[in-house]
Structure 1
Amino acid sequence: MFYVCLLFFQGYNRCCLVGHDWGGTIAWLFAIHYPEMVTKLIVLNCPHPSVFTDYTLRHPSQLLKSSHFFFFQLPCFPELMLSINDFKALKALFTSRSTGIGRKGRWLTAEDLEAYLYAVSQPGALTGALNYYRNVFR
């Protein structure tokens, strides 16, 4: 979304908007609320918000898979849980075979993991990341 804002500051009033995953959610919502500003919308790996909501309500298994959305609504507690013991939970999340971040068949290097952990350890960074989840119901 930063790039969209940058374009508008440079005098553009319309754009071709591309989003992936969480960026896809933001792109969908931007296009829904400001359709006059979007000439084309390309969304990868993210269903339309109403389709996701309908599916989730009809399939309890998806609701369980999305339970972290509800956990992250709590103030301060998710940040505490993710950061205790030197970010042990995040380390496990990033490196797990089922949830880890892969790159062309390779998992995170020690340097990659250190860079992610350094970034989220900065004051307010983890809260900023969790705010995506906190704003999903607004």
Structure 2
Amino acid sequence: SASGDYKIRVYMMRSAARRNEVAHYRLEMIVDGARQPTAHAPSHDAKVPGTDFHATGNIPCSMGKGQPTGSCAFGVKHEGNGNAMVTVTKVDGSQRVIFFEEGRAIGYDQSQADSGRFKAKKEAGLNIIHIGEERYEIPDAVPEGG
């Protein structure tokens, strides 16, 4: 291990910070001078216990034009290189699957009962996605695994 000063930064997703959310965490560091074997990262993302997802959380969402922004639960399956499937659970309990390639939203699962027009743009680290009248705000860190 190299000697010197180290800086550890902890970030909160922008949307959570805007809502003044609090994230409790614990950081434990032990430095004893003994050389430790090099740890290798797992060859695949770990899954959230009890789910098929690599990460879960909440994102801002709105289900219709003029409707207030609420919070929708999501789960993401990473496929590497910014490719991912984000499953959003809407307020009514139904689900919407949004596909990402190289960190960009490219479409959604149109086998679902509706076929709203898909539109996506990136804005300051946020994917703003419209499907018909629905709106989702998915931070870059979700599909990219950051």
Question: What TM-score range do you get, normalising by the shorter chain?
Answer: under 0.3
From the CA coordinates, give the structure whose radius of gyration is larger: 2
TM-score, normalised relative to structure 1? 0.23
**Bigger helix share:** 1
TM-score, normalised relative to structure 2? 0.22
